[in-house]
Amino acid sequence: MSKFLKQIHVNTLPGYEVVISDGLIKSCGEWLHKYFLTSCKIAVISDSTVGPLYLKDVVDSLTTWNFMVSVYTFEAGESRKNFTTLSNILEYLAAERLTRSDCVIALGGGVVGDMAGFAAACYLRGIRYIQMPTTMLAAVDSSVGGKTAIDLRAGKNLAGAFLQPSAVLCDLDCLKSLPRSVLLGGIAEAVKTGVLCDETLFSLFENGNISTDYGEIIARCVAYKAGVVERDEREQGERKLLNLGHTIGHAIEKCSGYTTPHGQAVAAGLAIIARSAERLSWTLEPIGNRITTCLAELGLPVVTRYTAEALADAALSDKKRSGEEITLVIPKKIGLCELKKIPVSELLPVIEAGLGV
Ligand code: GLY
C-alpha cells in the first residue's frame, strides 16, 4: 500500500501525468499497462550507477505486464552526456528495431533523463519516452518539462530538443538511499523553486534540516514547474525564470570541467546572484544573507573559487545569451523573481558584486 500518492497533470499538447509515489520501480509495468501504454517494445536506458540498483525490478515488472524489454546502460557521469553516448543509444535503438509505436524509459538522474530523452527525440524523428527519475534533482526538476540535451565542448546542454515525456513515474523509495551530496544537489533546485514562487517551501529548508517529506517537496516543485511549462513550453519568456542561479551555476560547472555537480553549482550561483542583486539595489527586501544562510546551513556551497572574469567568460557561451544581451533571473524577494536583460558588458560587474559573502 503506497504511503504517498500524488498525480500532477502537465497540460501541454499532448499532456501527461507526473506520478509521485512509493513503490513505482516495482510496479512500473502495472502503471504503464493500466494508464499509459499499450503492449509495445520498451528500451530502458540507464547508467552504471543506477542500473545495478533498479534495472532488475523494472525489467521484471515490465515483462510481467507483457512489455518486450531491452536494456542499454552507459557509464555514469556528466562527461558521458555527449555525442558518442547519443550515437551509441541511437544505434542500439535501431539494432533493437524499435518502431514509432515503441517507447524508451529513462531510468536515472538528470544525465540519463537528458540523454535518453534526446535519443527519443532524434530516433525516427521522435518516439515516446517515459521518465523514471531516481535522484532528487531529476524528481524536482529535470524529469518534467521536456528539455532534453547533450553537452558540447563549448558548454552545457548546447544541443538538444524539446520533447515532453509521455509520463513521469517518480518513486520516492529511490531517494531514501541517495548519498547526502546527491540528495543536496536536488534540494538546491527545490530551494530555487522556493525563491521563485513559494516562501513556505523556502522556509522548510531554513533551519538546515532536510525534511523527510520528500513527496510534498517534489509535488510543490512539480506543480509550479508544470504551470510554467504549460504557459511557456519553449522558453520564450516565463520559463526562463527556472534558470534562476543557472547562468553563474553553469559557468561554475564549466570552469570546473564539469566536476562540480549541477545542484551544487546552482546553489553557489543562486547565492551569488542573490547577494549581487541586493548590493545593486535590485531587490525589494534584503535577501542576500537569508538565501546564503539557508543554503550554507543545508551544506550547500555559497561561494566559488573561480574569478568573476573566468565565470563571465564561461557564461557568455551559455545559451541564455542572445546577441549582445544576456537575460538574468533576479530574485526580488523570497517567492518573487523577475527577468532582467543586461548588455553582456555588464555581466562582469554583476558577478563581481556577488562573489564575496
Ligand atoms: N530546468 C529548467 C527548465 O526545465 O526549464
User: Measuring from atom 2 of ligand 1, which residue has the nearest CA?
Assistant: 242
Peptide bond into 14 cis (omega under 30): yes
State which of 177, 202, 232 marks the end of a domain.
177
Give the integer Cα–Cα distance in Å for 133 and 112.
9
For ligand 1, the distance from its centroid to the CA atom of residue 68, given in whole angstroms, is 32
Which CATH number is 70's domain given? Answer: 3.40.50.1970
Do 39 and 67 sit in the same domain of this protein? yes
pLDDT at residue 48, rounded to an integer: 98
Do 194 and 335 sit in the same domain of this protein? yes
Give the integer Cα–Cα distance in Å for 15 and 238.
19
> Is the CB of residue 192 below 6 angstroms from any atom belonging to ligand 1?
no
Contact between residue 277 and residue 288 where contact means Cβ atoms under 8 Å apart: yes
Q: Which ligand 1 atom minimizes the distance to the CA of 243?
A: 2
Q: Whole-prediction pTM value?
A: 0.95
Number of domains in the chain: 2
* Residue 160 CB coordination number (10 Å): 17
Tell me the three cell numbers of residue 32. 504503464
pLDDT at residue 2, rounded to an integer: 54
> Is the CB of residue 239 below 6 angstroms from any atom belonging to ligand 1?
yes
Do 169 and 26 sit in the same domain of this protein? yes
Give the integer Cα–Cα distance in Å for 137 and 214.
12
- Matching residue, cell 509505436: 101
Do 270 and 124 sit in the same domain of this protein? no
pLDDT at residue 318, rounded to an integer: 72
Do 211 and 171 sit in the same domain of this protein? no
Tell me the three cell numbers of residue 16. 501527461
Do 163 and 218 sit in the same domain of this protein? no
Q: Select from 239, 244, 318 the residue to mutate for testing ligand 1; criterion: most ligand atoms less than 8 Å from CB.
A: 239
Give the dihedral of Cα atoms 117, 19, 229, 187; nearest 10 deg.
-90
Do 223 and 300 sit in the same domain of this protein? yes
Question: Could you give the 3-state DSSP secondary structure of residue 316?
Answer: coil
Which CATH number is 203's domain given? Answer: 1.20.1090.10
Give the integer Cα–Cα distance in Å for 301 and 111.
21
Give the integer Cα–Cα distance in Å for 298 and 188.
9
pLDDT at residue 341, rounded to an integer: 95
State which of 140, 157, 177 marks the end of a domain.
177
Q: Minimal CA–CA distance to 32: which of 53, 5, 14, 59?
A: 59
Do 124 and 234 sit in the same domain of this protein? no
- One-letter amino acid of 91: E
* Residue 198 CB coordination number (10 Å): 18
| Domain assignment of residue 320, given as a range | 184-355
For ligand 1, the distance from its centroid to the CA atom of residue 64, given in whole angstroms, is 34
Do 56 and 124 sit in the same domain of this protein? yes
> Is the CB of residue 189 below 6 angstroms from any atom belonging to ligand 1?
no
Mean pLDDT, consecutive 10-residue segments, the chain of 357 residues?
85 97 97 93 98 98 98 96 97 98 98 98 98 98 98 89 98 94 97 96 86 89 98 97 97 94 97 98 97 96 98 85 89 98 96 96
For ligand 1, the distance from its centroid to the CA atom of residue 63, given in whole angstroms, is 33
Do 112 and 38 sit in the same domain of this protein? yes
Q: Based on the residue annotation, tell me whether 225 is a catalytic residue of this protein.
A: yes
State which of 138, 161, 177 marks the end of a domain.
177
User: Measuring from atom 3 of ligand 1, which residue has the nearest CA?
Assistant: 242
Strands (E), the chain: 5-10, 16-21, 41-47, 68-74, 103-108, 128-133, 147-152, 155-162, 167-171, 321-322, 325-333, 336-343
Long-range own/partner contacts, residues 203-209 (CB < 8 A, 24 or more apart): 205/294, 205/298, 206/290, 206/293, 206/294, 206/297, 207/297, 208/294, 208/297, 208/298, 208/299
Q: Considering 78, 235, 253, 278, which one is annotated as catalytic?
A: 235
Do 223 and 249 sit in the same domain of this protein? yes
For ligand 1, the distance from its centroid to the CA atom of residue 162, given in whole angstroms, is 11
pLDDT at residue 153, rounded to an integer: 86
Do 210 and 145 sit in the same domain of this protein? no
> Is the CB of residue 147 below 6 angstroms from any atom belonging to ligand 1?
yes
